[in-house]
Amino acid sequence: MILVRNGIYGRTNAKAYLKNPKMPKLKPVDVDAMAVSRAMHLCIPEHIRIQLELDEIDKNEC
């Protein structure tokens, strides 16, 4: 569990299958992911973004 000021958030790990729907010929990528409850955004490492030829929307330290 991750403790935060307003209570306790849950955390879970999962395998995710990422692909770029704009580029269907590119191979999908299997990744290990971690999610925190109430999370609203996905942070993808730069090397995965490049591999999937995804457009950058925002830049953040993950």
Classify residue 39: in a domain, yes or no: yes
Q: Helices in 1-62 by DSSP H: which ranges?
A: 46-51
- Structural domain containing residue 12: 2-51
Helix (H, G, I), strand (E, B) or coil at 11: strand
Classify residue 60: in a domain, yes or no: no
Q: Which of 48, 40, 56, 62 minimizes the C-alpha distance to 16?
A: 48
- pTM of the complete model: 0.67
Residues 6 or more apart whose Cβ sits within 8 Å of residue 32: 13, 14, 15, 16
- Domain tally for the chain? 1
At 39 the pLDDT is 73
Which tens digit of pLDDT belongs to each residue from 6-60? 556 678 888 999 999 999 999 999 999 888 777 777 788 899 999 999 998 887 7
Classify residue 59: in a domain, yes or no: no
Classify residue 58: in a domain, yes or no: no
